[in-house]
Amino acid sequence: MPDDIANEQETPNATAEPVAEPVAEPSATPEAAALEALEREKSVLHDRLLRTAAEFDNYRKRVDRERRDQADAITADALADLIPIIDDLERALQASTGADTGSLRKGVELIHRQMLELLRKRGVKPIEAVGADFDPRFHESVASEASSGHRDGEVIEELRRGYVLGDRLLRPAMVKVAKA
């Protein structure tokens, strides 16, 4: 009897339907389906990566172009502001050929005012040095003089004006400092 039982288990039932082999179709197994899904996801992510890299490259090029255009515009604005001053200098030079030096002085004063106005308009401020304590961040001491009427380290004379743009030093003031 045990042989009969073994035969029954080994022989398929005649009434049972034939089962399709999963090897014939790769997507039929769960592992194959998962692999296909991962391949599709990889393809989508790779495509997204390529698009993002291309967009970033275009963005970088656009920003560089805008930066160059902005620098050109700023340069053009600064030069345009200097042109009227050059015109006044030319007028002052033409006026100096005559004997009247008063008109030359007026021309130079006009140019000076325009230059100071241009600097003020751009946010540049002169450093107030005379009477202030010497500060090596804003002053460049080129001389010192013994003075009983001033404090030790007090700026007593400005030899060349210094300028700042906001908190940034453009040029230190050349000064003479009092010694006690």
User: In a structure prediction context, what are the per-residue pLDDT tens digits for the chain, which is 180 residues long?
Assistant: 455 554 444 444 445 555 554 444 545 688 999 999 999 999 999 999 999 999 999 999 999 999 998 988 887 777 677 777 777 777 776 665 656 677 777 888 888 888 888 888 888 888 999 999 999 999 999 999 898 888 899 999 999 888 888 888 888 999 999 987
State residue 55's pLDDT score. Answer: 97
Structural domains of the chain in order of their starting residue, each with its CATH number: 29-122 (3.90.20.20), 124-180 (2.30.22.10)
Which long-range contacts (C-beta less than 8 Å, at least 24 apart) are formed by 132-135? 134/175, 134/177
pLDDT at residue 75, rounded to an integer:
75
Instruction: Render pLDDT for 75-96 as a digit per residue (tens, 0 to 9).
Output: 777 767 777 777 777 777 666 5
Tokens of 45: 């992510």
How confident is the model at residue 22, as a pLDDT? 47
pLDDT at 97: 60
Q: Look at residue 58 in the predicted model and tell me its pLDDT.
A: 96
